[in-house]
Amino acid sequence: YAGTGKSAMLGVAREAWEGNGYAVRGVALSGIAAENLESGSGIASRTIASLEHQWEQGRELLTNRDVLVIDEAGMIGTRQMERVIS
């Protein structure tokens, strides 16, 4: 639900992850949602399509030292989610 503190909780989680040496990135289906995730939690965020485009170019690949926060993951189609998870 809106206003329950999800963004604030993610901001605290981001601080903990970064404090342990992880790079934290956020993605969302829309640019507005990515902006809201970033402004509310401090997690640098972009659209999933934008990140997938970078991956196709061999850039910004994830490692075992990355945490990927996916906003509204239940709204993502199964094929796109499979690509992200893979």
pLDDT, average across residues 22-37: 95
Distance of CA 83 to the CA centre of its chain: 14
pLDDT-derived band of residue 78, with 50, 70 and 90 as boundaries?
Answer: very high
Give the Cα separation of 39 and 21 in Å (integer): 22
CATH code of the domain occupying 6-85: 3.40.50.300
Mean pLDDT of the chain: 93
Handedness of CA 16, 33, 76, 48 (dihedral sign): negative
Give the Cα separation of 39 and 75 in Å (integer): 21
**Which residues, in sequence order, are bridge partners of residue 25?**
68
pLDDT at position 61: 95
Question: Would you kindly state where each structural domain of the chain is located, as residue ranges?
Answer: 6-85
CA neighbor of 12 nearest in space, from 42, 38, 34: 42
Tens of pLDDT, residues 44-54 = 999 999 999 99
